[in-house]
Amino acid sequence: MEVPLLDLKAQYAKIKDEVLAAVSEVLESQRCIGGPKVAELEEKIAAISDCRFAVGVSSGTDAILNCLMSLDIGPGDEVITTPFTFFATAGCIARVGARPVFVDIDPETLNINPELIEPAVTEKTKAIIPVHLFGQMADMDPIMEVTDKYGLAVIEDAAQSITATYKGRKAGSIGTAGCLSFFPSKNLGGIGDGGMIVTNDETLAERMRIMRDHGQQPRYYYHYIGGNFRLDAIQAAALLIKLPLLDKWSQARRDNASYYNEKFKGSVIQTPSIRPDCVSIFNQYCIRVPKRDEVVKHLHDKGIGCAIYYPIPLHMNECFGYLGYKQGAFPESEKAAGEIMALPIYPELTDQMKDYVAGTVLSFLD
């Protein structure tokens, strides 16, 4: 049996006619950037995120970049985040000329450890980017306590966690702004790159709209040095077809996670730890195992897709060498990077596929 890590063809097969019709409508209109489809998607994503405003952008990366630019964060500033995340989180901080300041993760949830944030705050700190990793939100209450105390902005990196909740509150609705990604592998994935910023701050939302269009308002009157961060209408059209299915898909992922959890009970496999006050959308199902690289190889040999998110914590990457962090600086992130692996969790998995995946991992580790 073959079980891919993700099977987007299986998803597409069920919605092909609607997606093609929606894309065709955009092509017929030749309104290819922005326009009514983008506005409709913004309204709907704001609503499901319990936020007043949403600003469609070209990717999750550009959502973070736009936030930092719109908050005037730049050279001389520091932004605190986790080293156990996708590159874009810290990459954007560095791209605006600010300094990424890493603090270690909570080994249970793999999200930023709030207790370590306050000691990292300096005169230069302007913002914190908590990342809601793999579909579960970071522990926002203690994070907001610190940011309120020091007057810092909070950019929630919710690229992997659209509609996830923390104490009943939606991803992106707690901080200054939240960044979503519509990269195809996300729970709500487009047919190419796309992203969105959600916020309750009207002034900031307006600035982000101007910033995504080179900083101009009206055309050729430039207020800021912005960029081309606009969302394509074709992406919005496809996402509007998929949006009504998002909750069902996220629930199927949660059900798959419970299925695996049950299978792995009592074994050496460490299953994802979801806080009782959080609802995860399981963009990834990541286990921690001994002999991880051997397990990954064995699964690949058996036709099972799996991946390592993330093999090298960001502070150990060459491009961040200038920050001066050494091995051992963030022991929990480094340990997790050596043990973690993601199993197939996509909604279309059958019980037979899950049994095969779980059985193959278990028999190898026995």
Residues in contact with ligand PLP by CB under 6 A are: 59-61, 85-86, 88-89, 131, 157, 159-160, 181, 183, 193, 195
Nearer to ligand PLP, 60 or 178 (CB): 60
Q: How far is the CB of 86 from ligand PLP (least distance, A)?
A: 4
Q: How far is the CB of 199 from ligand PLP (least distance, A)?
A: 17
Nearer to ligand PLP, 166 or 356 (CB): 166
DSSP three-state, residue 6: coil
Residue type, 59: S
Per-residue tokens: 282: 């399981």
Nearer to ligand PLP, 155 or 240 (CB): 155
Q: CA-to-CA distance for 358 and 317, rounded, in angstroms?
A: 32
Q: How far is the CB of 159 from ligand PLP (least distance, A)?
A: 3
For residues 161 and 171, the answer to whether their CB atoms sit within 8 Å is yes
Nearer to ligand PLP, 86 or 166 (CB): 86
Q: DSSP class of residue 270? A: B
Q: How far is the CB of 49 from ligand PLP (least distance, A)?
A: 16
Strands (E), 216-364: 278-279, 285-288, 340-343
Q: Residue 301: phi, psi to the nearest 5?
A: -60, -30
Nearer to ligand PLP, 106 or 157 (CB): 157
Q: Give CA separation, 266 vs 261, 263, 335, in Å.
A: 10, 9, 22
Q: How far is the CB of 89 from ligand PLP (least distance, A)?
A: 5
Whether the upstream peptide bond of residue 218 has omega within 30° of 0, thus cis, is yes
